[in-house]
Amino acid sequence: DAGVIQSPRHEVTEMGQEVTLRCKPISGHNSLFWYRQTMMRGLELLIYFNNNVPIDDSGMPEDRFSAKMPNASFSTLKIQPSEPRDSAVYFCASSSRLAGKGEQYFGPGTRLTVT
């Protein structure tokens, strides 16, 4: 099992540019989560999907952020336009109600720097 795959691992962009983060969950998992981690705010849940359907997006900071899950094996988190305060590590995680105890498995994260 390859685990949760995220790309890119590092992204440096200029303010105002569009940023797209990608995630491939573990095969067979039916829940996918996007988190943001900063020193100031800790680990924040942005949005999560069950069976490709967004369930709770109340953590999405503002309209500049959007997330999609077009199929069970792929999700994107887009920031348009990006701002320096978006600099953070973004994690994707997946889990399954059917496997194990439903623990979340995290990807390695994408470190985003907006200058």
Partner 1 sequence: AQTVTQSQPEMSVQEAETVTLSCTYDTSESDYYLFWYKQPPSRQMILVIRQEAYKQQNATENRFSVNFQKAAKSFSLKISDSQLGDAAMYFCAYRSPNTGNQFYFGTGTSLTVIP
> What angle is formed at CA 104 by the lines to CA 55 and CA 75, rounded to 5 degrees?
50
Q: Least distance in Å: CB of 81 to partner 1?
A: 26
Q: Least distance in Å: CB of 20 to partner 1?
A: 20
Residue owning tokens 């900071």: 61
Name which of 72 and 89 has its Cβ closer to partner 1: 89
- β-bridge mates for residue 84, sequence order: none
Name which of 82 and 109 has its Cβ closer to partner 1: 109
Chain residues binding partner 1 by CB under 8 A are 31, 33, 37, 42-43, 45, 48, 50, 55-56, 89, 91, 93, 95, 97, 100-106, 108-109, 111
Q: Least distance in Å: CB of 102 to partner 1?
A: 6
28-67 as b/e: b if 16+ CB within 10 A: ebbbbbbbbeeeeeeeebbbbbeebeeeeeeebeeeebeb
Structure tokens of 112?
């985003």
Q: Least distance in Å: CB of 89 to partner 1?
A: 6
